[in-house]
């Protein structure tokens, strides 16, 4: 009878640990989504600022040459800022990759340890 109880305890323990692992994965996914959404909003803000700047330039320019010069300058600045944002996004992708790798390695080590503990060794 104790074997059945031990087996049920092992199953319950592994189920609880599995749920904890899934919960930690969900938390990791949420943190990742929040970080990526923040980066996306930064990119949207860049385009909105650029649009406002070009609209202001359109209304305040005294002539076509001034307007064209202002547009070139605004577009150059936008492209530089987008390049900077792209580099930040690549760095963020590396961080996210490392976070998932750490989560995976940690949890697979725990699963392996649980399985080794749960399976009797052959004599």
Contact 32, 96 (CB under 8 A): yes
Nearby residues of 47 by Cβ (< 8 Å), 6 or more positions away: 78
* Average pLDDT of the residues in 85-101: 96
Return the closest-CA partner of residue 78 out of 104, 57, 62, 92: 57
Q: Model-level pTM greater than 0.85? A: no
For residue 6, the model assigns a pLDDT of: 80
For residue 27, the model assigns a pLDDT of: 97
| Angle formed at CA 67 by CA 61 and CA 71, multiple of 5 degrees | 130
For residue 13, the model assigns a pLDDT of: 86
């Amino acid at each position: 009878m104790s074997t059945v109880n031990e087996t049920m305890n092992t199953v319950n323990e592994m189920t609880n640990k599995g749920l904890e692992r899934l919960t930690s994965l969900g938390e990791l996914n949420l943190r990742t989504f929040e970080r990526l959404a923040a980066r996306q909003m930064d990119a949207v803000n860049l385009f909105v600022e650029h649009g406002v700047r070009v609209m202001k330039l359109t209304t305040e320019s005294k002539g076509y040459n001034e307007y064209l010069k202002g547009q070139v300058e605004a577009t150059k600045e936008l492209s530089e800022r987008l390049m900077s944002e792209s580099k930040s996004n690549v760095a963020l992708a590396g961080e996210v990759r490392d976070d998932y790798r750490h989560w995976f390695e940690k949890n697979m080590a725990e699963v392996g340890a649980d399985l080794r503990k749960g399976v009797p060794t052959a004599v």
